Chains A and B, each alone.
Chain A
């Protein structure tokens, strides 16, 4: 039926009742976005209900003497068009009853109440099961303690405290700027060091406890009550919490905001004080503690508590600031409303918007919060997957179910059963399946660019290292680096003065022995024979020495391009080379290659489906060069061709720590050789390159499927 009906068939069940509010009912007048509302606190459930002034008129008439019928008549007479319908009155009364503030002249249906209580209890238990990442454990009632100690902190809550805080923050910010580099220097290593972790674990609960006390004191300061403090297991990490729901009754928006922000204010103050201690203290325990406090109080406050997209302090502050209570829930409801109203065309759905200006907040909050949660979940997922792939996968599936599965199941249930959709179910189904179909089609049908990234090094297939054949000092260099040389071209001339002398001495000796042998050839043939023997030996020695002298001239054995190791360039004059020392390379740079290692998981993809290859030099990532696969080493190995690909050499592969010198990678790789054009641009051998193997475009679903299959294969052998 369109429009709301004014009368209810069930009206007779309430019309004769004489009801009144219990004296302990806390109802408070508050203003939200320029509209007056009355807020009722339900102490049993910790929730608060908002009532419009029209509803409030009805509530205020509940005095135990008038019947509900009389009250409704009065309300209708006074409010005219705005009067509540009978159904609304009944709903209002039920709400009051559920909040346990209604007293009447009849015995309530006890069975019904027990049934409801049981339902609530079950729901609570279900919640802790559904969300094992946030379990609340109430510990004690801190009200008396807070009341007793309030005088101690009372002066700080107010104008003076505010000024003090602002001053402290200003000072701390200046100091932070000054010491920024010192503070942030390899912060990760410092924080995650084992002894520091112990310190963190000790300081963490203390800082958080002070945070919660901050909330507690501010509530007490303005007359609220705090009856529950406890520990929440947040992602298996204990975090203290305090029940600050009493703050919602403060009519002044700023007080609510301050209560919400009190925890962060305390933590920021702590952080500032810790900064001061850190600056002035000597290296030691105190300084380390201060550093940790700073880190916890400062960083975690800004990242977690202050973030309005998570349901922590920042969220409540934001909700109070923009005066939209219950922001997150209503934001989601608003999205639901938009879908039902405009996509499904149900004209009777009620919008959760109660004031102007809310829609844009609700809309953007819902989207942002969802995106942020998605982001956080994926970060946690990737972090965990890196360490424990299987647990990570389970976690991912779990969070996917919680984030998408459950809402989707609810949606399907809604589509199938909701009476709201009657007569529109066809359209609702069409829209929903259209949307799902589109998304599924994009995921599974639309091919998107697909590529494998790998690292490699520049290598030459026919390279020759030029070694010195003899030891000596550099006398002359005939070539420079990158010169094209032929086989036999002299590259370098070394000088070895000892050798020269030796040659000269040996020549003289040969001459002497020859003459001596000639002289006694006829006188003493026996002696001459001996001399000739010695001459032969001397000649051999001379030849040897001459050869060695010859070796001082270094020649290229192959044609190619001469490459002088960059470390040696410009430092050659008079330099001494030992025998057999490397002098440079002659490389066949007409045809240099890239040696690339591809992780095993991608091997078959690269092997079977590579459409194009491009690479960029690590030292010049601006330009991409084309390349082709020349050949592959037909075996998957853990040996790396060069250290440049390992982490120690600046690459990405981790080496097996048990055999550090063996260049064995932890993961197995496929080794490929790539050829590329324009080799002239290659100036350095062994330079690292990033290679991109482009595959045929593939839809996302197919890739995810492949990755999943591999994960299960490697983890579960299924």
Chain B
């Protein structure tokens, strides 16, 4: 019986289900403080309970490996029926796991380790599993996704990008097929019909952005009145799918890979579907705003707050603007609009830099994600900032986008009926995950102890010295036959380092937003002996660098961190590229006192600057740690504010009906 037939036979009780938005009340806040410790104990207990289930799964293995292929298929079909009727629990769940494990061994020739079974149980429990980088999270997800899908729960496996979604789905689909499950893959550029097909599959692999935008488009198509009852009535009246354009089947179960990145780091990224305004009009506006902005002088007329990423106009600056805009007419007459425009223009000039925040590709301004180092396709800044940057860079000006509907990952993922996540680095954000998503972080011990060698960090006075030292180190390691991965923070930094390496004569590849097309090829070759790769965060999460022959004997992959990131987790992710699954490898950080991370500490009064200099001399690691923690705290606070703002506006705008 096909899935479609089942659906027609038994219409789901709720069409397009998603969890109602929850209001954070004071009790939640009290709870998040009061439960911090009990929650940890509870997590232990839960893990212990799941360990028992794991042991039962392991004990079932002999029953299954005896079966012939045909018997196994028949057994799987029976397990499916039991799961559908009894739910994901008890003996049926144990059987399902054991069967999937056996099937995986036969089709993929990969057998789940005990730790992966435990990780998958954590996922099904609706929690976040923290497994060390390189412990095979992709395979872990198959157990959870497979079991859930067998139980009839439409499952979304969420990855950070299309490449990973496609790669994972393609690798694993033989297994899913053998389990009698269909797999759908969402990629950029699919038609709505293709998307609908992909979402109709039992398991859908998609990147977080695609998922969220599909959801938004669906909401838009459904209009303001999209209650369950209304949808059902319409369905009865028209007999067919829900309102034609809708592609999703509701938000049932999501397994989020790299949960900290998707759920925390990207939480602030607004997800917007927009309409465009007239570009010529925007061009005149942006040019004028920039002209006016260039007429101002810092610090008399404006102050740039780099740490807060805002620009403040001084009263003198305002007066100056009023004079300059006296006979411009139109929106320049209104002081509010005028100052807003000029502030944006100043931000475009001083706070956004090519190669760091955006790159120019095909004479277009493309936003670069600070966290992943990837180009965010079709994303644009709002409030005219994008147009200002386009004018600044002298490329063709596009229209301004007016939001039609918007949401955030925080709001989107909270709407899943069941949410689970996996990541290598979650412990720093465990509190936030619990507070925002009600997810507990359970740590699963690695299968084999890590062989990664952590070398002491080295500090240099200037960037130039640092770059020279990195180049020398890379040459030394490459000379010894080991592959080297150098992590940088921005596209610009990767280019600079590449130049230095070229000067020294070290052959290398660069992996950044501009070389996205060759990504797969570069990574495939990254593990071969003597290879040097300079990469942005693109080489961070989810990238599996498999070592070439004989490399492990030489010491494995050597990773150099050229700059600390805003969050310790991202550093750990980069470090996690080496020493995977018990292999050998080494990691070291090479930092300089001129690193941008420290710039916010360098600013401020003369006293704090002096303190900073002394601190750098005495205990450079401390200075970096402080700066990093400070940045983490700031980002955390911003996310909290965003969520609060979201809730407040939601409450305020309740009269508009619930659409987003």
Contact = CB atoms under 8 A, between A and B. Distances in A.
5 contacts: A6-B334, A6-B336, A9-B382, A9-B403, A94-B655
B622 interface: no
A2 B310 contact: yes
A106 B310 contact: no
Interface string B224-248: 1100000000000000000000000
Nearest to A7: B383
Binding site secondary structure of chain B: mixed
Contact of A2 (B312, B650, B652, B654): B312
Contacts of A102: 655
Nearest to B656: A13
Interface of B: 20, 23, 224-225, 270, 308, 310, 312-313, 333-337, 339-340, 343, 382-383, 402-406, 637, 641, 649-660
Q: Find the residue from A4, A12, A14, A80 having the highest chain B CB count within 10 A.
A: A12
A9 B270 contact: yes
Nearest to B275: A12
B651 A91 contact: no
Given A6-B336, A12-B405, A13-B660, A93 B312 contact: no
Nearest to B274: A12
B255 to A, nearest CB: 28
B658 A109 contact: yes
B655 A115 contact: no
B312 to A, nearest CB: 4
B363 to A, nearest CB: 27
B562 to A, nearest CB: 30
Contact of B406 (A12, A104, A106): A12
A97 interface: yes
A107 B657 contact: yes
B652 A6 contact: no
A177 interface: no
A17 interface: yes
Nearest to A11: B403
A115 B656 contact: no
Given A6-B336, A106-B224, 10 more contacts: A2-B313, A3-B339, A3-B343, A9-B270, A13-B653, A13-B656, A90-B649, A94-B653, A111-B658, A423-B308
Given A11-B403, A94-B655, A422-B637, A6 B225 contact: no
A116 B383 contact: no
B491 to A, nearest CB: 27
A76 B334 CA distance: 9
A12 B402 contact: yes
Contacts, number: 97
A163 interface: no
Nearest to A79: B334
Contacts of A570: none
Contacts of B402: 11-12
A12 B655 contact: no
Contacts of B650: 112
Nearest to A96: B655
B337 A6 contact: yes
Given A7-B383, A423-B308, A80 B333 contact: yes
A106 B308 contact: no
A116 B648 CA distance: 12
A430 interface: no
A78 to B, nearest CB: 12
| Top 10 A-B residue pairs of the complex, sorted by shortest distance between their CB atoms | A112-B654, A97-B655, A106-B657, A94-B652, A109-B654, A109-B658, A12-B403, A2-B312, A13-B656, A106-B224
A75 B171 CA distance: 59
Contacts of A9: 270, 382, 403, 406
A1 interface: yes
A464 to B, nearest CB: 80
Nearest to B230: A107
B334 A81 contact: yes
A82 to B, nearest CB: 9
A90 B334 contact: no
A419 interface: yes
Contacts of B660: 13
Interface in A361-400: none
Nearest to B650: A112
Given A2-B312, A9-B270, A13-B660, A104 B335 contact: no
B403 A81 contact: no
A112 B333 contact: no
Nearest to B402: A12
A5 B659 CA distance: 25
